Each structure stands twice: as C-alpha cells, then as structure tokens.
C-alpha cells in the first residue's frame, strides 16, 4: 500500500523540480509570479476559511446537543450525522444543484410565492453552501469527542455553587472545548484546501480552487511541472497544518 502511495508521490516531487529530467525551480518561480496562481491561491484560502468557520458554527451546537443525550439517542444522532458523511461528495454536489439551481427546490418555491429568486449556483454561494455541508461532520466529531471527555462533575459542581446554564457554558464548557474546536478547524480547513468536485460543479469562473488549477495544468496546458509544483505546495501546507493538529491533540488532556 505504501508503495502505491510513495511511488506516485515521489514521481510528483520529481516532476515539480525537473523539466525534461533537468533540475530546476522554474515551476515554483513561474507559479509564484503567475497572477492566475496567486488569485486561485487566495480564493482557495478564502473559501476554505469561510467554509471551515461556518462548518464549526453549525457543528458546535450539533455536537453540544449530541453530547447531552443518553447513549441510545446519541448513536441515533450520530448515524444522522454520518449518513451524508458516507455519501460521495460528487453526489452531494449534484444534489445541491437540484436544491439551489435556477429550477431547483428553493427558486421554484420562491417563484410559486411570487418572490424574487436568487442565483445560488455557479457562484461563491453555491461553493460555500456545498462545502460547508460536506465539512460539518468533520467539525462535529472532534468537538463532540472533546465535550464527551469533559468531566461531568465540573458542570455539577458549578450548578451546586449556583451557576446557571449560560454561565456554565460560557465559563466552563466552551473554554474547555477550545482544543476540540481548534482540531475541528484544522481538519476542516485542510480538507477544504483540496476541494475539487464542489467548485467544479457549483462554482463560477471566479471560484476556481487549487485542485481545479492542477486539473487545468495537467489536462488543458499539459504543464506537468507546474501541476506537480502546485500539488507539492498543497501537500506542504496540509502537512504543516496536520502537524499542528497533532500538537493540539497531544496537549488536549492538559487544556
């Protein structure tokens, strides 16, 4: 298995530093000076950042609610969170065209009610909606793990001391869940850096992301050197973030 990973990866590394077998940094140099790459890079960061934050904002209350259920109800809720998680991202992105498209569920309903309709696909909104949907389970799990690991006696102790539910949440539960939120953020951010199908299907011209750019270089311009260099940059960014995630996990019990 490792052979199946390492050989192609080595090949990509080799390609990113060579043109026709000769060592060169030309691939990286041309990328960093290419306005296209710089724009796609910022777009990617922007979409990833917004989608991750929205996913966390949606996922936190979900995780909080699940953490307060009995074990039986909790497993039921977990299945509900996991179902979309097991569905292919391609299928989910298509599903969003059915919901958000011009002839989709929402716009049809708006039209029937004689209300103004919105363009919700082939633009930034479509990409963000679909990628947030994809990311929510990845935000829920680290937060839920953290909440379940919190000592239930802390809440009880605070309650005996007279604290109300809001104070218990903001002074105890939430500050203690910081490492779970951070882990969830890194995870969702790294995942969204590599999004390909969602921006391809639901994005417009201005929503191209890094993975789409790789696709463009390999298939349209046949510039394998530049495509490999982008892959290496993407891999490097993800690796740094995942290392950070490891550090967060390692310090979790002392948080």
Partner 1 sequence: MTVVELKGVSRKYGNIVALDCLDLVVEKGEFLTLLGPSGSGKTTLLNIIAGMTPPSSGRVEIDGRDVTDMPTRQRGLGMVFQNYALMPHMTVFDNIAFPLRVRRVREQEIRIRVAEVLDIVNLRDLGGRKPRELSGGQQQRVAIARCLVYKPSLILMDEPLGALDKKLREQLQLEIKRLHSDLGVTVVYVTHDQEEALTLSDRICLMNTGRIEQLGTPHELYFAPETVFGAQFLGESNVLTATVSESSSEETVLRCSVGTIRAPTTSVATGAEVTIVVRPENIRRLAPGECIGNELSGELIDTTFVGGVTRYYVRPDNGSVLVLKELTNRTAWAAGSGKVRIGWSAEHTLVIQNIAGR
Residues that bind partner 1 (CB under 8 A): 151, 153-154, 156-164, 167, 171-172, 175-176, 254-255
Nearest approach, Cβ of residue 250 and partner 1 (Å): 15
C-alpha 2: how far from chain center: 25
Kindly list the distances between the CA atom of residue 130 and the CA atoms of 25, 92, 103, 114, 209, in Å, as whole numbers in the listed order: 36, 7, 17, 26, 14
Q: Between 10 and 178, whose beta carbon lies closer to partner 1?
A: 178
**Strand, coil or helix: what is 18?**
strand
Q: Between 34 and 150, whose beta carbon lies closer to partner 1?
A: 150
Give the tokens for residue 64. Answer: 């909080």
CA distance 214 to 195: 12
CA distance 218 to 227: 6
Give the tokens for residue 141. Answer: 């799990």
Q: Between 179 and 198, whose beta carbon lies closer to partner 1?
A: 179
CA distance 89 to 87: 6
Q: Between 111 and 156, whose beta carbon lies closer to partner 1?
A: 156
Nearest approach, Cβ of residue 154 and partner 1 (Å): 6
Nearest approach, Cβ of residue 149 and partner 1 (Å): 12
Nearest approach, Cβ of residue 248 and partner 1 (Å): 15
């Amino acid at each position: 298995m490792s052979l199946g990973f390492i050989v192609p990866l080595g090949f990509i590394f080799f390609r990113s530093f060579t043109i026709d077998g000769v060592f060169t940094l030309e691939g990286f140099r041309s990328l960093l000076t290419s306005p296209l790459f710089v724009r796609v890079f910022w777009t990617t960061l922007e979409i990833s950042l917004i989608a991750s934050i929205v996913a966390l904002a949606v996922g936190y209350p979900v995780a909080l609610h699940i953490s307060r259920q009995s074990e039986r109800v909790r497993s039921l809720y977990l299945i509900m969170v996991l179902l979309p998680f097991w569905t292919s991202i391609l299928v989910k992105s298509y599903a969003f065209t059915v919901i958000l498209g011009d002839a989709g569920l929402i716009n049809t309903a708006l039209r029937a009610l004689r209300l103004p309709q919105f363009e919700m696909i082939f633009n930034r909104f479509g990409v963000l909606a679909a990628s947030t949907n994809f990311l929510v389970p990845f935000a829920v799990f680290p937060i839920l793990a953290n909440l379940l690991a919190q000592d239930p006696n802390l809440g009880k102790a605070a309650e005996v001391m007279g604290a109300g539910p809001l104070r218990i949440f903001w002074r105890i539960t939430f500050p203690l869940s910081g490492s779970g939120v951070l882990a969830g953020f890194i995870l969702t951010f790294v995942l969204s850096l590599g999004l390909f199908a969602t921006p391809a299907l639901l994005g417009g011209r201005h929503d191209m992301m890094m993975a789409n750019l790789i696709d463009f270089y390999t298939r349209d311009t046949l510039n394998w050197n530049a495509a490999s260099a982008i892959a290496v940059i993407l891999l490097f960014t993800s690796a740094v973030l995942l290392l950070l995630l490891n550090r967060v996990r390692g310090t979790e019990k002392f948080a």
